[in-house]
Amino acid sequence: MIHAEPSQRLPVHPRSRGMLARFGPSNRKVFPWVLMAPTLIILFGIGIYPFLYSLYIAGHNVILSKPYLPRIFVGLYQYHALIQDPEFWHALRTTLWFTVQAVFIEFWLGLGLALLFQRSLRGASVMRVFILIPMILPPLVAALIWRYMFYPGAGLVTYYAGGITRALGWGEIPFLSDPTIAFQTLIFVDVWEWTPFMFLMLSAGLASIPRQPYEAAEIDGASSWRVFWTITMPLLRPAILIAVVIRTMDAFRTYELIVIMTRGGPGNATTTLNVFLTKTGLEFFDASKAAALSLIMMMIIIVMSFVFIRVFRSRTEAAE
């Protein structure tokens, strides 16, 4: 490596030398902030600023179809209007019921598959690939596939299911036109798509459990059921907490599946908070009410996550 002689080095401007001394690696207090500055600017642009602007919009009267109206400060009026709106409470109940059913079924199916694949099975690697395919598909693509499969009279599922029901003397099953059946159809598709996520998370959790407790239980002659509840489940709680919290937040915000398959119908049977938010902001152009609703949804998700963490932490401390 060729080094320049001191006499051949380019002179450093005093102002540049001062900037290096103030913001360069020699200043250990300032230099880390200089390195993080691009990331902080991006986070502010895509996260903090939209959140602050949502607070501003929710506190004013902003209707996109009437831009000529002055933006009057209304305080908490939009939140009060939502609380008084029956459609909001119906969408909230639908969202919570959808989230509870979907996450409950996905958790137990994912746990069962994770326990099954913990054993040495022939062709397990190939079967894992097939199990994970639904999770790899984009939600929009998965929703379109299942919409066409449940299409009345022409879909693959409706064709074969209709053949079976007609043979039994029943009519065709209205998968997407009956309120109750349409809701359960959405849960079925969501379970099909996101059970692999639970399977993946819980499989990683099972792989991290040490073998010593199982060996001690085998020496003591404990049954498989007792080993599952006294060893596997307590040691699997951290993985369960992460998987359930992430999946709950995601299920609570489900949008593409519902809009593509039912568009919130029939009627408003499958209208969740996200669908109600879209209709409020993009169909009725009530930006203030939509912003207030988005902030309420954020608070609900935060409270749900906090409750999950407190419950799991208290049970873990009690078990210890």
Cα distances (angstroms) measured from residue 316 to each of 237, 310, 320? 8, 10, 6
Check the CA dihedral 177-181-183-184 and report its sign. Answer: negative
Query: What gap in Å lies between CA 285 and CA 238, rounded to an integer?
Result: 43
CATH class in words for 78-319: mainly alpha
Are 312 and 305 a contacting pair, CB within 8 Å?
Answer: no
Domain boundaries, the chain: 6-58, 78-319
Tokens representing 61 are 């009267």
In a 3-state reduction of DSSP, which class is residue 73?
A: strand
User: What pTM does this model have?
Assistant: 0.84
In 3D space, the residue among 233, 270, 253 whose CA is nearest the CA of residue 108 turns out to be 233
In 3D space, the residue among 255, 237, 248 whose CA is nearest the CA of residue 300 turns out to be 248
Are 78 and 98 a contacting pair, CB within 8 Å?
Answer: no
Cα distances (angstroms) measured from residue 10 to each of 20, 25, 52, 184, 316? 16, 21, 48, 74, 64
Query: What gap in Å lies between CA 112 and CA 98, rounded to an integer?
Result: 21
Helix, strand, coil percent content, the chain, rounded in steps of 5: 75, 0, 25
Are 227 and 214 a contacting pair, CB within 8 Å?
Answer: yes
Q: Render each residue's pLDDT in the chain as its tens digit; 320 residues.
A: 445 555 455 455 555 556 666 666 767 777 778 788 888 888 888 888 888 999 999 999 988 888 888 889 998 999 999 999 999 999 999 999 999 999 999 999 999 999 998 887 787 888 888 999 999 999 899 999 999 999 887 888 988 888 888 888 787 888 998 999 999 999 999 999 999 999 999 999 999 988 888 888 888 888 888 888 888 898 898 899 899 999 999 999 999 999 999 999 898 999 999 999 999 998 899 999 999 999 999 999 999 888 888 887 776 666 56
pLDDT at 18: 61
Instruction: Compute and round to an integer the Cα radius of gyration of the chain.
Output: 27
